[in-house]
């Protein structure tokens, strides 16, 4: 995974969306919901457990 990738999570966000874009990479990773625009910070290990698949990758 890298910056700009679109991912699908196992569980939906409360807005109903399951697709997210990776916005920032570092000690904590920032992802943004593509349905409502809400941003979330989480550790890389936790994010990797929640990902179902990578839908698209930035070139």
Q: Can you give the residue ranges of every domain in the chain?
A: 6-56
The β-bridge partners of 53 are: 8
| pLDDT, tens digit only, all 59 positions of the chain | 899 999 999 999 999 999 999 999 999 999 999 999 999 999 999 999 999 999 987 64
pLDDT at 59: 45
Structure tokens at 13: 């966000």
pLDDT for 56: 84
Residue 4 contacts residue 27 (beta carbons within 8 Å): no
* Residue 57: predicted pLDDT: 72
The Cα 53–Cα 25 span in angstroms is 18
For the domain covering 6-56, report its CATH number: 2.30.30
Task: Identify the pLDDT of residue 8.
Answer: 95
In 7-19, which positions are buried (b, 16+ CB within 10 angstroms) versus exposed (e)? bebeeebeeebbb
């Amino acid at each position: 995974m890298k910056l700009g990738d679109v991912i699908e999570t196992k569980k939906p966000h409360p807005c109903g969306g399951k697709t997210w874009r990776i916005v920032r990479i570092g000690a904590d990773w920032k992802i943004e919901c593509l349905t409502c625009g809400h941003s979330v910070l989480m550790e890389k290990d936790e994010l990797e457990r929640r990902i179902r698949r990578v839908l698209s990758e930035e070139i």
